[in-house]
Amino acid sequence: MKRSTGSLLVILTIWAGVAQAQHEHHMRAKKDTAQHQRHKPEKQDTAADHSAHQMHGGHAMHDMTSAYSLNLPMNRNGSGTSWLTDNTPMYMYMAQKGNTSFMLHGNIFLRYTSTDFTAKGSRGATKLDAPNWLMGMMNHRIGRKGLLNATVMLSFDRAVMGGEGYPLLFQSGETWQGQPLVDRQHPHDLFAALSVGYTYAINKDLDVYAYLGYPGEPAISAPAFMHRVSAMNNPDAPLGHHWQDATHITFGVGTLGFRYKQVKAEFSSFTGREPDEDRYNFDKPLFDSYAYRVSYNPSRQWALQFSQAFVHSPEALEPDENVTRTTASAIHTAQFRHPGSFIASAAVWGLNSKSGNHKEHSFLLESNLQLQKNAVYGRYEFVEKSTHELHLEDQLPHAKFNVHAFTLGYARTLATIWKTSLSIGAQGTVNVEDQSLHGIYGKNPLSAQVYLRINPALHR
């Protein structure tokens, strides 16, 4: 407990320092702007001036571009090279110096959770923990058509919650002390992303780019759950994480891609093995797997993608088994009249195909209704879990089980200081599983949690 408390203090100290520095930078910028405007003759805004500043809090469009295009808004940035919608609200700190932009965003949840608070089964657990991540990004313009991006993402999960992660009923994937993690979400690595990318704008409609991460994220699936605004108030990873977006931390990935207008195609070579149990090291890069993704944003409100990955030996306990992962997703964001009011939703489907024609499906539908300080959010999941996935070979014959989870939550922002928000929230989950699992999990076990959330305020 002492180590966890110390780790939390380190995280909060770093966060507070960055927030204060960003606040001071913003105040200096406002002062400089005010002094400049006192000596500047007044002029009327033109339509072009208004277009260049709308949705971006007064910052020029060219100062805030996508990480992989000088001709797309920064709102489109997802995780890795994936796309969100163009009107995605941005919760982050930002500073600008010449041709270089610096951005920081993230989430810290201080929470208490109980995964079976009515004690219906034998798999429930309780824990006080703090899921967290921080992501910093730099964009630097090179000449008129070049853009260099560097990204660092950190997670202190391992230090705060230990090697076995946090309790999450029906979750599976990765290992701890040589045993599969079941009914728990594994901690993320300290270095969740270290990547660089270069984009060249052939013209306003056509970009080509290259991306290299160690670790990084290959071109597979929708943006990882922690980067979707539809999931920003939910501390839990999806139960279909290892069917949809678990490749967001891959030790060794290279991606080549091109964009034509609102369509993007990309190809990745990457390491198929999931991160090992040492969350502080850098695993060996193998580049033994590959993936492709096609993305299409038909309007400011929509982001669509289809992708497929051929993953070599992802599981350490099953080194001879390969997985073909196929995904499709649709993300929708609708802004309301008042800043900070919107509804963001995502639908994600993922299919794992293994040897012997063994296939397991997953589906997720989530939505976050944000009305300035108040948020109501929900998530529905369906996933097929095998006897092996749930580590029940000694208790049940080989089979696949349907698992459904319905989550509903509420969050309210209590205060915003130094462009940093503190929110309080609570959520509950009803788990609905196959009848054959009732003797182990209980019939429809109930999970609940309460939390304090710390995150950058909405950037305006």
Lowest mean pLDDT among 17-26, 77-86, 121-130, 340-349: 17-26
Residue 460 confidence (pLDDT): 85
As a whole number, mean pLDDT of residues 207-211 equals: 98
Q: Name the pLDDT band for 440 (thresholds 50, 70, 90).
A: very high
pLDDT of residue 352: 96
Within a domain: 16: no
Q: Is 223 part of a structural domain of the chain?
A: yes
Q: What is the pLDDT of residue 53?
A: 38
Percent of the chain with pLDDT over 90: 84
Residue 156, pLDDT above cutoff 90: yes
Q: Is residue 90 predicted with pLDDT exceeding 70?
A: yes
Instruction: Tell me what pLDDT residue 433 has.
Output: 97
List, for residues 111-129, the tens digit of each pLDDT value.
Answer: 999 999 999 999 999 999 9
Structural domain includes residue 13? no
pLDDT of residue 8: 57
Specify the pLDDT at position 287.
Answer: 97
Confidence of residue 355 (pLDDT cuts 50, 70, 90): confident
Selected residue with higher pLDDT from 7 and 181: 181
- Please enumerate in sequence order all residues whose Cβ is within 8 A of that of 151, keeping only pairs 6 or more positions apart, or say none: 67, 135, 136, 137, 138, 193, 194, 195, 196, 197
pLDDT at 163 over 70: yes
Rounded mean pLDDT of 224-240? 97
52-56, 197-201, 282-286, 413-417: range with lowest mean pLDDT: 52-56
What pLDDT shows up at residue 442? 96
In a domain, 1, yes or no: no
Place of tokens 């810290």: 108
Tens digit of pLDDT for each residue in 363-407? Answer: 999 999 999 999 999 999 999 999 999 999 999 999 999 999 999
Ranked by mean pLDDT, which of 34-38, 57-61, 101-105 comes out on top? 101-105
H helical segments located in 179-276? 241-244
Q: pTM above the 0.75 mark?
A: yes
What pLDDT, on a 0 to 100 scale, did the predictor assign at position 243?
95
CB count within 10 Å of CB 388 equals 16
Separation of alpha carbons 131 and 122, rounded Å = 24
- Quote the Cα angle for 43-47-51, to 5°: 110
Q: pLDDT-derived band of residue 356, with 50, 70 and 90 as boundaries?
A: confident
Provide the pLDDT for residue 26. 52
- Average pLDDT of span 182-200: 98
Q: Evaluate if residue 195 carries a pLDDT over 70.
A: yes
Give the chain's mean pLDDT. Answer: 90
SS (H, E, C) 281-328: CCCCCCCCEEEEEEEEEEECCEEEEEEEEEECCCCCCCCCCCEEEEEE
Taking residues 311-332, report their average pLDDT.
96
Report yes or no on 26 lying in a domain: no
- Residues ≥6 apart with Cβ < 8 Å to 37: none
Question: Of the ranges 32-41, 162-171, 250-259, 300-309, which one carries the lowest mean pLDDT score?
Answer: 32-41
Distance set, CA 107 to CA 102, 223, 321 (Å) = 18, 16, 35
**Domain total of the chain:** 1
Question: Could you tell me the CATH number of the domain that includes residue 447?
Answer: 2.40.160.10
Residue 164's closest CA among 140, 195, 186? Answer: 186
pLDDT digits (tens, 9 = 90+) for 39-68: 444 444 333 333 333 333 333 434 679 999
H helix or E strand, kind and range, residue 8: helix 2-38
What is the rounded CA–CA span in Å between residue 326 and residue 328?
A: 7
Give the structural domain span for 312. 48-456
pLDDT of residue 17: 55
| pLDDT recorded at residue 167 | 98
Is 283 among the domain residues? yes
Asked whether residue 359 is assigned to any structural domain, the reply reads yes
Which among 122, 117, 166 has a CA at the least distance from the CA of 447?
117
In this prediction, residue 36 carries a pLDDT of 47
Could you tell me if residue 218 is inside a domain? yes
